[in-house]
Amino acid sequence: MSAGNALERALAEPGLRALPGDVARLLRRLAAPARLGAHLRAVHDVAVEIVVWVEGQGVQVDREAVLFGAATHDVGKVHFPQELSGAGAQHEPAGERLLAELGVERRLARFTALHARWDRDQATLDELLVTLADKVWKGRREAGLEEKVAQVVAGALGEPVWAVYMRLDDELTRLADGADERLAFQNRFPI
């Protein structure tokens, strides 16, 4: 099977929500590895659920930015494919530069450089949600990140942090329960 056919399968196979059309076109244009396409679909799929949950709590987010950010957060791995199967952070600034070169607005491109830097003081809720989706898609729970999200949501709602954290924990537990299926989906595609 050709790399292009594998990417097409990763973008189209049933099981996860489709990526936004502009992101799918971008990945085709970049001849992205199929594994990257599958990974971005898995994170985007979870991000949709998280955004729906946050909005259901009564907190507004930039839905377009969060979903675009989740769908492109690792796009720099096109230039650093070794980071698809190993550690590395070169893809983060490379992804932001790549998107900027392609004319993507800074408010959308920023997630590529910031998704691993959730612990900065100025991290926005939108940025935190992209990072959260990038953790939970594979069943990983990050207590400090979850507490920070709960604090921001609680502050927006005027509720105690513990009450929001309890609801968030229930939602993230539900999402983490689907990690095995998402991991299996991603791992069907070559790097």
pLDDT for res 1: 53
User: Domain residues for 141?
Assistant: 3-187
pLDDT for res 96: 96
State mean pLDDT over 84-90: 91
The number of folded domains in the chain is: 1
Among 25, 10, 38, 183, smallest CA distance to 104 is for 25
pLDDT for res 106: 94
Q: What CATH code is carried by the domain that includes residue 170?
A: 1.10.3210
State mean pLDDT over 75-79: 97
pLDDT for res 3: 64
State mean pLDDT over 116-139: 96
Q: Helices (DSSP H) in 57-178: which residue ranges? A: 63-72, 91-101, 106-114, 125-136, 143-157, 161-176
Q: Which residues 6+ apart lie within 8 Å of 161 measured at CB?
A: 147, 150, 151, 154
The string of pLDDT tens digits covering residues 5-20 is: 999 999 999 999 999 9
Mean pLDDT of the chain: 96
pLDDT at 104 over 90: yes
